[in-house]
Structure formats: C-alpha cells, structure tokens
Amino acid sequence: MRKIIVILLSLLALFVVVAGANGGCANCDYGCDCEGVVITFEDTTCGETIGTQYNGVTFEPAMSGSASNGNKVAEFTETTTISFFPEVSCVSFKHSSYAGTQATAYDNQGNVVDTASGGNLFIPEIIELASNGDSCISYITITYQETGYAEFAWIDNLKFCTCQREEIPEFPTIAIPMLAIIGLALVMQRRRE
C-alpha cells in the first residue's frame, strides 16, 4: 500500500513540474504553406466598406472595395489593423503601394511576433508574417509610406491559417483526483488495521 502512495505522490510531483510549462502554439512556425482561408475580395464592389463581413476577421478602420488591373482588392488610406479570431499561425497577402508597405504581427498581449515590408511603385508583392511558435498572431497592422503622391495602398488574397494551441491541463484537474485516490487508499489501509 505504501508503494502505491509513493508512486501516486511521485506522479503528482511530476505533474506539478509539467503543469508549470506554458501552453504554446502548435504548428505555428511553418509559414503560410498550410491549407488556410483565403479572402480574395472578389465579392466586394468598388467603394463598398470592408469591415466585419468576413467570419473571424475584422478590418479597422474599415477598408473599401476597389479594383486593380481588373481584380477586386481592398484599399486603405491609413494604418489598418486586421484582427483574427481565433488566432492564426501565419498571414500572407498581396499588396501594392507607391512607396512601400510595412506589416507587423502581434500576439494577444500586444507583443510583436513578426514584421515584414516591401513593394513600391505599385508593383504587387507578397508579404508573409508567421508566428514564432511561442505565441500565435492575434492581429496585424499594415502601414504604407506616405509620399504626398498616391496616398493609398491595397491588399488582395489575404490568406491565414488558424493556430492550434497546445492545451496543458491546470493543476487542480489532475491534483484533486490524485488526492482523492490517495485519501481512499489511506482510509482502506486504516480499516484493514
């Protein structure tokens, strides 16, 4: 009986050590090669406000529908925040502006996860942001360089993959049943004596 109690206490101590680790974000460091969601903006019309009509994605301030070389795109004229719920592991999008675009990804605590920039003279280019494996992307900001000429930019083919968190059970989830088993073992041992 004492051996059982020692084993159960050892398992409980091991769980305490493991439970101290934070749950990270699984499959978050592979870039945007996953089978994700792609928003092409083909269902928008020129001048239409793009804000919350895509499930799990919010554009703030709202972008507006536009067209570039015959393709429907989302146009913005100031720094735009795109929020994702649930969080994502990566984000990529085609973009274009006159003097370049800067994109920054943040986790749910507001910490920078990744940054990327590129493109100018309205030559379309892909920007990709990926999580670092420790935290997922909660939102991104997109800013274009102001030049006094062509004060707007656009994005198209917004692709993202949902981040899957590794959940570690909380201490009481395991500790209470373990203590109950130990208690029953002690009660049973006393009855035998």
Answer for the pair 68, 142: CB distance below 8 angstroms, yes or no. no
Beta bridge mates, 63: 50
Report pTM.
0.68
Answer for the pair 83, 60: CB distance below 8 angstroms, yes or no. yes
Task: Kindly tell me the burial class for residue 67, based on how many C-beta atoms sit within 10 Å of its own C-beta (0-12, 13-18, 19 or more).
Answer: middle
Whether residue 17 is predicted with pLDDT greater than 50 in this model: the reply is no
- pLDDT at position 23 is 43
Helix, strand or coil, per DSSP, at residue 109? coil
Answer for the pair 142, 118: CB distance below 8 angstroms, yes or no. no
Separation between Cα atoms, residue 144 and residue 125, nearest integer Å: 13
- pLDDT at position 107 is 93
Helix, strand or coil, per DSSP, at residue 186? helix
Q: What is the pLDDT of residues 28-64, one digit of tens each?
A: 444 456 667 888 888 888 888 888 778 889 999 888 8
- pLDDT at position 98 is 73
Nearest CA to 139 out of 76, 189, 185, 87 is that of 87
Task: Kindly tell me the burial class for residue 163, based on how many C-beta atoms sit within 10 Å of its own C-beta (0-12, 13-18, 19 or more).
Answer: buried
- pLDDT at position 62 is 86
- CB atoms near residue 99 (< 10 Å): 17
* CATH class as words, domain 24-166: mainly beta
Q: Over 1-58, what HEC string results?
A: CHHHHHHHHHHHHHHHHHHCCCCCEECCCCCCCCCCEEECCCCCCCCCEECCCCCCEE
In the DSSP assignment, the letter for residue 122 is T
Q: In the chain, where are the structural domains located?
A: 1-21+168-193, 24-166
Among 8-12, 88-92, 143-147, the minimum mean pLDDT is found in 8-12
